[in-house]
Amino acid sequence: MEAVPGYLSLHQSAESLTLKWTPNQLMNGTLGDSELEKSVYWDYALVVPFSQVVCIHCHQQKSGGTLVLVSQDGIQRPPLHFPQGGHLLSFLSCL
């Protein structure tokens, strides 16, 4: 499967820290209103409360890094691919 570029963000409230990832097609408004409602890209969007995460797998390659979050129920979230240049390490330091 080909990687889908998107927008990754961390959201902190008094009670929790949440990771959100949204495909670029939903963020930049390239889809029309009716297309947006039907878009398959909604299936790719992630909202992961870190209170549900028990394990983080990181893999560093020359081409970049990959991060996989594992929930309390043992389900692995789709891998998040980071480009080369220390982006994975920067993200982990934010956590």
pLDDT tens digits for range 59-91: 988 888 999 999 999 999 999 999 998 899 999
Residue 50 has pLDDT above 90, yes or no: yes
For residue 64, the cross-strand partners are 61, 83
List the domains of the chain with CATH numbers: 6-94 (2.30.29.230)
Residue 88, classed as helix, strand or coil, is helix
CA 81 to chain centre: 9
Q: pTM for this structure?
A: 0.79
Across 51-64, b (16+ Cβ under 10 Å) vs e yields eebeeeeeeeeeee
* pLDDT, the chain, mean: 87
Q: Left if phi > 0, otherwise alpha if psi is -120 to 50, otherwise beta: which for 40?
A: alpha
